Chain A
Amino acid sequence: MRKVAVLGVGVTKFTGAQEKTGVELFAEAAGDAFLDARMKPKDIQALFIGNVLGDFSEGQGMPQCLAAENIGCFNIPANRYEGACASGSMAIRDAFLLIANGAYDVIMAGGLERAATMGTPLATRTFAMFSDARYEYPAGITFPAVFALLAHLYSDKYKIPVDRLREQMARVSIQACKHGSVNPKAQFFGKYGDLTIDKVLKAFVVASPLGLHDCCPFSDGASSVILVSEDIAKRMTDKPIWITGAGQASSGTLSNQKAYLPRIYAREVASKQAYAMAGIKPDDVDLIELHDCFSIASIIASESLGFFDYGKAGEAWEKGQADIGGKIAICPSGGLKAKGHPIGATGGGQVYEVVKQLRGEAIPANQVPNAKIGMTDTLGGEGGTLVNLILEKGY
């Protein structure tokens, strides 16, 4: 396999409902990625876009072809990826694999979404489509309800009383908002920096035990990354960021994952692939942008990824071990919780943040000192899709 570098990255600010179309948002992110990579549209050989709900939010199917033409990448192959909230990371992983295996030299990957534009009732309905439409939706499953079920299961399995777990989860949200509130690209930029445990616990309940501040927002936004082969990377930059590991796995209906819950088994399969490919261990990772769609999701993810013992991640957040300066910096951008979660674009947004960290170009307050190895973790559905990427500073 050839080495693959991320040469350029771009994201829009992640926001609530807005007026730009998904294709317009993607074009803005792509424009920034072109500038960052010092490349032009004619250099791109294929375009892979994560987009989940364009059909519902804008009445727009097949946005990837419109986007390719929109940004001047005429007639190149353009693929849409749909793996719920992991869609963008699926696109990036496939781009990585196709370059690594010599099919292409330069691919733009990323995503676009206008989830916030739908409003909460329709967004809740369409996000529930990532559960089983036949065997789960009739019971009224929603996305917060999936993680609420896991939170109560976690409480029961590890014998952490719900009130205690809710305080630990509040710490997760407070840390995310601390970082997101100073990130100009974040939906919560300038907001919730003063979040307290009391405010988190007193917010209205979405699906018990998860309250409003345990949940990420619905978001609009886009992301774009340009991946290139080793020879092009060496020609274009003396400061490459390599993708050194990638993994992906799937699972079926939540109930059929019973042997592992509240652990998400697909994550353990995918991360093992990524760690093995990169030849590293969890302890080697300086920072991760992981899939913190809900506060409990961060706790569950960080344990399966090997950063903390099972049942102990909440304590790690309380002790600052999941923050900058701790054992590992988790979501120093603010994560899905505070940066936002425009689902098709989320994976590209995570890669953007990791690349900025490894280059030392993150927001100073959120910069992890001397970051050399970063990772992403993106979950779709109830663990139906799980993608992990490992990136390393090449200089």
Chain B
Amino acid sequence: MNYPLTFKQYSDALKEDRLMGLKCKVCGSITVPPKMACRNCASFEIEPMAMKGTGKIRTYTSVFVPSEGRETECPYIIAMVELDEGPWIMGNLKGVTPASAGLDVIGKSVKMGHEVFPGDKYSAGEGARPVFTIV
């Protein structure tokens, strides 16, 4: 059976600032990040669909202790965003100073861009991720 939306396809779309997800033909639920089965009803009848790339911040953290190989990125903010279409996704938040970010960012509306993690010796290649800015 054909995989409906691979990470490579998702990442390539992100590199053009397009956020792709899947819409279920059975129950109408939207699944992001992409999977084989609808996250609501487990149907395989799901097809790719472009998200608007907008949503609200639901939680965040400012990271000060990085993984090996990502020292130069620190500090940075990770945010979980609830998309206007419903799903939550993880990305970075830019335009806010990590050391002074507070709980007031939660609930703020954001729009999406992207950055590419170039990969390391464990990651089997690069991967794009959403980067959000408060609107």
Contact = CB atoms under 8 A, between A and B. Distances in A.
Given A139-B78, A149-B78, A132 B33 contact: yes
B7 A140 contact: no
Interface in A112-136: 120-122, 124-125, 128-129, 132-136
A153 B58 contact: yes
Main secondary structure of the interface of B (DSSP, over half): mixed
Interface in A291-313: none
Nearest to A136: B90
Interface residues of B, number: 47
Nearest to B64: A205
B84 to A, nearest CB: 14
A141 B78 contact: yes
Contact of B103 (A124, A141, A155, A255): A155
A140 B64 contact: no
Contact of A152 (B61, B63, B88, B122): B61
A373 B71 CA distance: 46
B33 A152 contact: no
Contacts of B62: 205, 207-208
Given A139-B78, A145-B61, A208-B101, A133 B68 contact: no
A140 B80 contact: no
A142 B63 contact: yes
A256 B35 CA distance: 10
Interface string B40-65: 00000000000000000011111111
Contacts of B64: 204-208
A207 B60 CA distance: 10
A254 B80 contact: yes
A318 B16 CA distance: 50
A258 B82 contact: yes
Contacts of A156: 58-59, 103, 106
Contacts of B61: 145, 148-149, 151-152, 207-210
Given A135-B10, A145-B63, A207-B65, 9 more contacts: A124-B65, A124-B66, A137-B127, A140-B63, A141-B78, A142-B63, A142-B66, A150-B59, A255-B80
Interface of B: 7, 10-11, 32-33, 35, 39, 58-71, 73, 76, 78, 80, 82, 87-92, 98, 101-103, 106, 116-117, 120, 122-124, 127-130
6 contacts: A135-B7, A139-B92, A144-B65, A207-B63, A208-B62, A255-B32
